[in-house]
Structure 1
Amino acid sequence: MCGIVGIFDTRGEREIDRQLLSRMNETQHHRGPDEGGLHTERGVGLGHRRLSIIDVSTGQQPLFNEDNSVAIVFNGEIYNFHELMDELLALGHVFRTRSDTEVIVHAWEQWGETCVQRFRGMFAFALWDRNRKTLFLARDRLGIKPLYYALLPDGTFIFGSELKSLKAFPQLPREIDPCAVEDYFAYGYVPEPRTIYRHAFKLPPGHTLTMKAGDACATPKRYWDLAFKVAATAAQASVEEELIEQLRDAVNSHLVAEVPLGAFLSGGVDSAGVVATMAGLMNDSINTCSIAFNNPGYDESVFAAQVAQRYATRHHTETVDADDVSLIDKLAGLYDEPYADSSAIPTYRVCQLAKKRVTVALSGDGGDEIFAGYRRYRYAMAEQRVRSMMPLAIRKPLFGTLGKVYPKADWAPRMFRAKTTFEALARDLVEGYFHGVSIMPDRVRDQLFSDRFRQQLQGYRAIEVMRAHAAQSPTDDPLSMVQYLDFKTYLPGDILTKVDRASMAHSLEVRVPLLDHKFVEWASGVPSSLKLNGGQGKYIFKKSLQPHLSDDILYRPKMGFSVPLADWFRGPLRDKVRKAVLNPVLLDTGIFNETYLRHMLDQHEAGVKDYSTPLWSVLMFESFLRVDGAGN
């Protein structure tokens, strides 16, 4: 796993400042502490920080072809590189290393832009072809690895694995994008392709970007999308059998490494399934790592220990408590833009723990999105069944009115929050789902923002992100539709971003076999009735794993990987939160309504309402402003 950076003059004339390129590269030293490399020539500069995993002795970057006309900087792993290397050797290509990086170079020479369709893995890379005067960027299908870029007014194009590398370029405008702020306080992160800055972007998952000298145009091009094509109906037993075969293939492909390898083990179904599968494929005992909480309502460590005992892993556990909120400013520095998923704290700690024993760790991320494991899928389908019973013209005024007059009950489980349910039923599927996943609903954001800031938004609403993806959806099946929306928003914007930054902060490579694109493509073709069945999420996944995991692991209530924010904010962190939320650094932006900020603090501290999630998002935004100096 690595970090990449680059500078490209679209005019093809100017010399590249090698010292500036080096400074950009060194902002990502944590991503690759083993080696660093730079290459500059007229019009282009490439930088790389390396964490050695495959071909440790000869895989240095930037890496070139035989005549030095093609150069690459690469972050990720191509798991099928051996097969591709054999194919390219047969076609006459000459290799100087045994690295997956060189496979990409020769694949580009052989197949051009379509080379990405042959790669199985997680990747973000930039390739310079001097003969074609072309800079080619690509990001993997699911967005496991990040890639940021900006095209500046003077024709300079810059890119990097993290936003901080772009911020090291002095000419990058640091103007905050109001639409990104609206998105952040709705989703808890800034969804692709936006960043918090108006002039910087994320390359979306499954996209490439081709830049040519003399053409100052940066237009991403999609090369892959999830189809959700339901396969021919098969007996459930056959699907279960094939699922295990597909899972074994996905996990096995992710085991290639020349360094110590282990796994995260949360005690949930997904990570336990990955560990169980690894145990059947590996001869050595597996290193597994877990995080525990002092609060038993959030602690799954006892279940992780059960799996570890069953498969005789070398298991390690550490405890997270309220003092870990000292990580807030560190997290702001890692994520480079506002990021409000509080599970970043235990994720950071479990990566820190894993790095003490291994260089590569497999995780169970992706299982909920693939097999409909989130409770919100169950709620969304229940609401959709009610919607199907009456037209929108009747539902909207009826349930809209009930939603306005019914009192809000934040303390209750969602299915018993009548106000929330009525509001969802007054909407269509996409709007209802957006309403369900938002960390702050529209009515709360309307009160949070100042009048001046709402005018800057010019009517923009965060739901437009989901509307745009829904318009491109390949399916009209309701469950598949909301899964598709998560694959486009929550998975890359929240889950994979969290894991990438937390792991790279410790120079740890995390692999996600459940997001192997072949496994995802196969699973998307499983009928919705086998994913969400009788109110049971991940139905077919759990049935398939019954021979390998106990019912305690498979069928206990889902806990999630979260922290007790509500208790923290009323207890040991009360003063810290109030000070941060009312900090002039935050208030002087003109974005917020100070009266409503005080209202949230008072109501939460008094136990009247649970505002822990909105307050955490404000806290992280304040930390971003303070650490980043945004807008200065």
Structure 2
Amino acid sequence: MCGIAGIFDLRGTRELPRELVGRMNDAQFHRGPDEGGLHFEPGVALAHRRLSIIDLATGQQPLFNADGSVGVVFNGEIYNYRELAAELEALGHVFRTRSDTEVIVHAWAAWGEACVKRFRGMFAFALHDRARATLFLARDRLGVKPLYYAELADGTLAFGSELKALMCHPGLDRRIDPCAVEEYFALGYVAEPRTIFLGARKLGPGETLCARRGQALPEPRAYWDVRFAVDGPAPSLEDASAELLERLRESVRLRMISEVPLGAFLSGGVDSSAVVATMAGLSDEPVNTCSIAFDDPQFDEAAFARQVAGRYRTRHHVETVKSDDFDLIDHLAALYDEPYADSSAIPTWRVCQLARKHVTVALSGDGGDESFGGYRRYRLHLMEERLRGALPLGLRRPLFGLLGRVYPKADWAPRVLRGKTTFQALARDSVQAYCHSVSLLREEQRRALFSPALRASLGGYRALEVFRRHAARADTDDALALVQYLDLKTYLVGDINTKVDRASMAHSLEVREPLMDHPLVEWLAGLPRELKVRGGEGKVLLKRAFEPMLPHEVLYRPKMGFAVPLARWFRGPLRQRVRDAVLGETLAATGWFDARQLRHLVEAHQSGARDYSAPLWSLLMFEAFLRNAGAASGALPARAALGEVA
């Protein structure tokens, strides 16, 4: 795993600032502490930080073709590089290294922009072709690896693996995007293609951007999408289980290719346990497994992880995280560069820290919930869809809208028993209801939180539009398929992949995700709903396939999640920290928030009247972001730093 950065002159062949590009590269040192590489020529600068995994001796970057006219900087892994190298050699290409990076420059020569369709893996890369005066940026299909870019006022295009690389550039427009603020407080992250800054963008998953000197920068182009449709007769559960095991073995086998120590995360959940069981069947040596235990039994899954580790005789490493492990708050703000509100970033950071003590590469179970139908919210959504289907929207909206307004809240109850939440969902269409259900702060809460100035800057924009945009391309009438598609495009990319990439790279650890192998994702998308969710059970296929290989209580216990005790923290050890952050000068100076609502959130939560832990954590992390961004720029972002909606 690595970090990439660089600058491309869109207007000519000016000499680019070496010191600046060096600083951009050094800002990502943690992503690749083994080696650093810089390349300069008129009109282009390429930079790379390397974490050596494959071809340790000759895989340095930037890497060039034989005549030096095509160069690439690459972050990730192309798992089918050996097959592609053999195919390219048959076409006459001569390889000088054994690295997957070199496959990219030869694939570009053979297939041009379509080369990305041949790559199986996780990747973000920038390729410069001198003869074509072209810079080609690409990101993998599921958005495992990040890529940021900015078209600057001086006519250059800057890019980097993390936003902090672009923040080194004095030409970056660092005004806060009000739409990004809306998305953050709705979703807990800023959704692709936005960033928190008006001047920077994220390349979306499965997209490329081809910049040509002397031409206007085009919009990114999608080269892949997943289609949720059942074509032909559906397989039986038994046949599908057998095929799943074969497909997963292939995916895991490809991700076990490494010249450095390799292991796996083992949470005790179904997904990571299935990956470890598969690894054990493919390895002659005991698998290295890493788990985090919690000293609060309410959040601890360590006993289930120990069962799986014992069954497969893994080299199991466990560390206990204290339930008051909140020292990372400011560190996380700097790590993520833009506001990010998933509190499970704390234990994820800790498990990556543990894993790096023993391995350089770790396999994870991320992506399983989205493809196998594992989230509890999917089952609740299907239940609500049956109710929505019984009455037309024209009747549901006024009836359930009224009930949703007058019914009292019951935060303490399971969601299915929270009448207010259910009534609100039934008053909406399917996409609006799902956006409502996954939002950290619901639309009415955001309206109450935002000041008139911020609401005016939004110009009517709502985070719902992120979901509407993706739903328009989903091409499915199935209720489960629709929300799976939405999660693959939003939550998986913006939350899960972002969390794991930054936490792992902070420790120079490469994480590989076998359940995000795109042929596997495509195959699962083509299976009927009944093989994913049946009655009150999710992940039907995955659980059936692994019944002979995993303990029953691991497969069929309630899903726990990687959570931390926010509600207790904010009433106890972080009581004053929350008050200082939410009611302090940093948020007040922006003019973006309603002071009375901020005080209500703090007082109602700390008195025990309401559980506002999610909005308070969002505000805490936003305040930490503002302080970090202010320190990086030398000035606190304030009223004047808020941009206008384009």
Secondary structure of the 2:12 match is coil
Matched, 1:534 2:535: yes
Tell me which residue corresponds to 2:185. 185
Q: How far off is 1:518 after superposition?
A: 0.8
Q: How far off is 1:321 after superposition?
A: 2.1
Aligned positions of 1:108-147 closer than 5 A: 108-147=108-147
Matched, 1:158 2:174: no
Question: Once the two structures are superposed, what CA deviation does each residue of 1:447-501 show, in whole Å capped at 9, x if it has no partner?
Answer: 1111111111111111000001001112121100000000110000000000000
Does the CA-based 8 Å contact 2:296-2:323 persist in structure 1? no
Query: Aligned partners of 1:110 and 1:452: how far apart in 2?
Result: 53
Tell me which residue corresponds to 1:423. 424
Matched, 1:399 2:409: no
Tell me which residue corresponds to 1:97. 97
Tell me which residue corresponds to 2:29. 29
Secondary structure of the 1:7 match is strand
Secondary structure of the 2:377 match is helix
| Percent identity for Structure 1 against Structure 2 | 65
Query: Aligned partners of 1:565 and 1:218: how far apart in 2?
Result: 44
Does the CA-based 8 Å contact 1:178-1:457 persist in structure 2? yes
Query: Aligned partners of 2:40 and 2:375: how far apart in 1?
Result: 47
Structure 1 segments (4+ residues) deviating >4 Å = none
Aligned positions of 1:212-223 closer than 5 A: 212-223=212-223
Does the CA-based 8 Å contact 1:328-1:620 persist in structure 2? yes
Tell me which residue corresponds to 1:575. 576
Matched, 1:471 2:472: yes
Count matched residues: 632
Query: Aligned partners of 1:233 and 1:612: how far apart in 2?
Result: 44
Q: How far off is 1:215 after superposition?
A: 1.1
Query: Aligned partners of 1:533 and 1:426: how far apart in 2?
Result: 25
Farther-moved stretch of structure 1 (228-237 vs 169-178) = 228-237
Q: How far off is 1:324 after superposition?
A: 2.3
Secondary structure of the 2:125 match is strand
Query: Aligned partners of 1:269 and 1:236: how far apart in 2?
Result: 18
Q: How far off is 1:323 after superposition?
A: 4.0
Tell me which residue corresponds to 2:167. 167
Tell me which residue corresponds to 1:616. 617
Matched, 1:319 2:303: no
Query: Aligned partners of 1:295 and 1:236: how far apart in 2?
Result: 38
Secondary structure of the 1:326 match is coil
Gaps of 5+ in 1: none
Tell me which residue corresponds to 1:8. 8
Tell me which residue corresponds to 2:344. 343
Q: State the one-letter code of the partner of 1:434.
A: C
Q: How far off is 1:246 after superposition?
A: 0.9
Q: How far off is 1:376 after superposition?
A: 0.5
Tell me which residue corresponds to 1:436. 437
Query: Aligned partners of 1:137 and 1:165: how far apart in 2?
Result: 16
Does the CA-based 8 Å contact 2:294-2:323 persist in structure 1? no
Query: Aligned partners of 2:236 and 2:482: how far apart in 1?
Result: 24
Q: How far off is 1:406 after superposition?
A: 0.3
Tell me which residue corresponds to 2:505. 504
Does the CA-based 8 Å contact 1:265-1:288 persist in structure 2? yes
Q: How far off is 1:580 after superposition?
A: 1.2
Q: State the one-letter code of the partner of 1:219.
A: E
RMSD value, Cα: 0.8
Does the CA-based 8 Å contact 2:241-2:541 persist in structure 1? yes
Q: State the one-letter code of the partner of 1:443.
A: E
Matched, 1:60 2:49: no
Gaps of 5+ in 2: 631-635, 642-646
Q: State the one-letter code of the partner of 2:258.
A: A
Q: How far off is 1:234 after superposition?
A: 1.7
Tell me which residue corresponds to 2:488. 487
Secondary structure of the 1:484 match is helix
Tell me which residue corresponds to 2:599. 598
Query: Aligned partners of 1:474 and 1:466: how far apart in 2?
Result: 14
Does the CA-based 8 Å contact 1:532-1:538 persist in structure 2? yes
Farther-moved stretch of structure 1 (214-223 vs 226-235) = 226-235
Q: How far off is 1:549 after superposition?
A: 0.5
Query: Aligned partners of 1:188 and 1:594: how far apart in 2?
Result: 21
Tell me which residue corresponds to 1:211. 211
Q: State the one-letter code of the partner of 1:278.
A: M
Query: Aligned partners of 1:66 and 1:200: how far apart in 2?
Result: 34
Does the CA-based 8 Å contact 1:263-1:362 persist in structure 2? yes
Matched, 1:18 2:28: no
Query: Aligned partners of 2:237 and 2:348: how far apart in 1?
Result: 35
Query: Aligned partners of 2:426 and 2:545: how far apart in 1?
Result: 34
Aligned positions of 1:516-595 closer than 5 A: 516-595=517-596
Question: Once the two structures are superposed, what CA deviation does each residue of 1:151-188 show, in whole Å capped at 9, x if it has no partner?
Answer: 01221100000000000011101100000000000000
Query: Aligned partners of 1:54 and 1:561: how far apart in 2?
Result: 31
Tell me which residue corresponds to 1:82. 82
Does the CA-based 8 Å contact 1:151-1:218 persist in structure 2? no
Does the CA-based 8 Å contact 1:372-1:538 persist in structure 2? yes
